[in-house]
Structure 1
Amino acid sequence: MKRWIAMFLGAVLVPIAPGPAHARPGGDGWRPLAPIAGGPRQEHSAAAVGDRIYVVGGIVGDSAGGFVTTDRVEVYDVRRDTWSDAAPLPVAMNHPNVAVAGGRLYVLGGLSGGASWQALPDCFVYDPRADRWTRLPSMPLDMARGSAAVGTRGARIYLAGGMRTLTPAPGGVQDTVDTVSSYDVVTGRWEALPHLPQARDHVGGAIVGTVFYVVGGRDRGQVNVRDTVYAYDLRSRRWTQRSPMPTARGGVAAAAVGASVYVFGGEGDHDGTGPDAVFAETEAYDTVHDRWRRLAPMPVPRHGTAAVAVDGAIYIAGGGVEGGGAPVDVNDSYRPR
């Protein structure tokens, strides 16, 4: 298997020699699982309906040694440790904004394109029973972006930050936004909400109780990673800032279990070692006491992936193992103690 590297702020696409990338047993709470059946992918999103995790869109390797945006949707059964295919996305996307509400899967925009990835306003809903996508009215153009933090409470899906343009080439544009919006799955209405205190993309997001947490991320490039934790109160509609994450990083995966938000991996400038470092860090934020703790690191450090909580365990499929694009098929889980 080849791995593909595209440095978003570095060299052009080049293939590299294959190497081991499967998760190893060990560490408290980590468990290796069946690798992605369809092969390596990253810059996707994921969400769960019951015991089934849907891995949506992203980038995959092509025959020329680079990568392309995919419409593929794969389903991981957490009980059986098996993979299957679902109906593909009507439009190929990377960095899609994905959420589940009312037992259905929603895709609310993302990025796509060739040499430069641009925001798509396209929205779709997926019915797992019928294995069918239905097009929804597009989101307002001024809200269109990919790579947003996403959270769901009741019938509302919340999006914070993201980016309108990502050019995966040396010095390429990375257009980060501070936009915050919500979508009501019942009425189909979009609402503009108070902006983030600062623009963020490739950011972690989770709702705990009535607070939407937006964690880490970056602002216009891998050299500009952040440790910030912003909290949006869904009732008062106000942003506050909480204790910072111990390790500043973007391209993270995040999920909530109980009253804690768990943040995995990432990409960026790590202690001055350069913008293309990939992080193994696992850190958890206690939303009750406003404090962080460090946990066992990822067996396979990755960025550009997604974390999904099911029955107290957090599942992480795919991602990149080098700066930029280097997709792998690794699939593992972390169960907090």
Structure 2
Amino acid sequence: MSHWNRKLRFTFGMLAAASALLALGCGDDGAQPAAPGTGGGPGTPDVEVEVQTARDYPDLVEAVSSFGAVLLDNALYTYGGNLGGGEFAADNQSSAFRRLSLAPGGAWEDLGAVEHLESTALVAHGGLVIRVGGLRADNAAGEPEELISVTTVERYDPSTGKWQALPDMPEGRSGHGAVILGDRLYAVAGWELIGAGEFRTGGFMLDLSTPDAAWVPLPDPPFRLRSLGVAKRGDVIYAMGGVGDAQEFSSEVYTFDTKTETWAPGPELPSEIPIKGFGATACSDDEDLYVNYADGLFRLNEAGDGWEPAGELEFTRYFSPLICPGNGEVIVVGGRSTANNEITASVESVDVAQ
């Protein structure tokens, strides 16, 4: 049995314990409250108008988890992912690259086959989609595992439908996060999986405004984590949750100030179940930073020193990419159900307006 499989089985054992806690009432599905409307003009009686931010979107074409997703020009792009199947194999990894317009009546559009990867990251910059790293299985189902965290980075131009290579990262990277600040692309945390898997550097930065730029290592962080949520607020990058060297599940949060290039502890994630922030995903809009994990959806408070619930999901899930269109909406895409570990195709819009 590979080191990777031993880790995976231990993870799912902890998940069973979490499911038992949920059965005892730790999980709660509920309706989203409608926001009150405003009254009319002079001489017009006040009328309470129901405002519903949450919208209905079509499900994914197939159930998938641990995939890349990003919003660009009011369209949701998805790349690859884990299709289930119970083992790591090429056939259990998606090679689909798709797009969904978030305009009313939008439908999923197939943009062609890509490299079969999971645990990858997508970002948007300059009207382009950028894919950073990911985990590729080169073995067929039932064969010995051949797993590799790829070094490759590439960008997709929606106007031409073409991919273009960007500089490779110095190390392979999967289970990481990626964010854009201005023209700088950051790849944060994660690990390089070749055989047993190793935590190496804390990530890299690439200046997209500079021709022939090379990746620059980030200062060493005070953690070694993968399968975590990464997002920004202002000039600060947040690394949230995940799992570490000895399979210890984390609810810790760390911040990286991109101005001073220093790491610092942040406010710990609230967690009621054993797997804590494992499989967390995150996003931010112009105002707020959100994180989703097995305990639910949370928002960083205004002071930046704690977390507050940010709306109720139909069901809690993890390894579910999070999209922040703004205007009081967050979209949770695919992933694994916390209750039964089943992969879902659900695309859920959550009303997070206060």
TM-score normalised by structure 2 residue count: 0.76
Letter of the structure 1 residue corresponding to residue 345 of structure 2: D
Do the aligned partners of residues 323 and 301 (structure 1) sit closer, same or farther apart at CA in structure 2, a change above 3 Å counting? closer
Match of 1:271 in 2: none
Helix, strand or coil for the counterpart of 2:151? Answer: strand
Check if 1:131 corresponds to 2:161: yes
Check if 1:164 corresponds to 2:180: no
Match of 1:33 in 2: 56
Larger Rg computed on CA atoms = 2
The alignment yields a C-alpha RMSD, in angstroms, of: 3.0
Contact 2:57 2:349 in 1 (8 A): no
Do the aligned partners of residues 131 and 158 (structure 1) sit closer, same or farther apart at CA in structure 2, a change above 3 Å counting? same
Do the aligned partners of residues 303 and 82 (structure 1) sit closer, same or farther apart at CA in structure 2, a change above 3 Å counting? same
Distance 1:147 1:323 in 2: 22
Match of 1:218 in 2: 243
Distance 1:94 1:226 in 2: 21
Check if 1:252 corresponds to 2:283: no
Distance 2:270 2:87 in 1: 39
| 291, 301, 320: which one aligns with 1:305 | 320
Match of 1:288 in 2: 303
| 59, 81, 106: which one aligns with 1:58 | 81
Q: What 5-or-longer segments of structure 2 have no aligned partner?
A: 1-5, 13-28, 35-52, 140-144
Match of 2:177 in 1: 149
- Cα deviation, residue 153, structure 1: 0.8
Do the aligned partners of residues 182 and 204 (structure 1) sit closer, same or farther apart at CA in structure 2, a change above 3 Å counting? same
Contact 1:116 1:165 in 2 (8 A): no
- Cα deviation, residue 296, structure 1: 3.5
Greater RCO, 1 or 2 (C-alpha within 8 Å, sep 6+): 1
Contact 2:136 2:147 in 1 (8 A): yes
Distance 2:122 2:262 in 1: 24
Helix, strand or coil for the counterpart of 1:9? Answer: helix
Contact 2:67 2:121 in 1 (8 A): no
Letter of the structure 1 residue corresponding to residue 32 of structure 2: G
Check if 1:229 corresponds to 2:253: yes
Helix, strand or coil for the counterpart of 2:174? Answer: coil
Letter of the structure 2 residue corresponding to residue 219 of structure 1: G
Match of 2:9 in 1: 9
Matches within 5 A, 1:271-286: 279-286=294-301
Check if 1:332 corresponds to 2:337: no
Check if 1:94 corresponds to 2:118: yes
Q: What 5-or-longer segments of structure 1 have no aligned partner?
A: 1-5, 13-23, 168-172, 266-278
* Structure 1, 295-304 or 104-113: larger mean CA deviation: 295-304
Check if 1:198 corresponds to 2:223: yes
Whichever structure has more helix as a proportion of its residues is: 2
Q: How many residues align?
A: 300
Check if 1:185 corresponds to 2:208: yes
TM-score normalised by structure 1 residue count: 0.79
Distance 1:11 1:215 in 2: 18
Helix, strand or coil for the counterpart of 2:134? Answer: strand
Match of 1:275 in 2: none
Contact 2:311 2:350 in 1 (8 A): no
Distance 2:174 2:73 in 1: 25
Helix, strand or coil for the counterpart of 2:316? Answer: coil
Helix, strand or coil for the counterpart of 2:70? Answer: strand
Distance 2:87 2:240 in 1: 36
Contact 1:62 1:68 in 2 (8 A): yes
Letter of the structure 1 residue corresponding to residue 153 of structure 2: C
Do the aligned partners of residues 251 and 34 (structure 1) sit closer, same or farther apart at CA in structure 2, a change above 3 Å counting? same
* Structure 1, 183-192 or 321-330: larger mean CA deviation: 321-330
Whichever structure has more strand as a proportion of its residues is: 1
Helix, strand or coil for the counterpart of 1:60? Answer: coil
Distance 1:177 1:287 in 2: 33
Match of 2:336 in 1: 320
Do the aligned partners of residues 300 and 174 (structure 1) sit closer, same or farther apart at CA in structure 2, a change above 3 Å counting? farther
- Cα deviation, residue 32, structure 1: 6.2
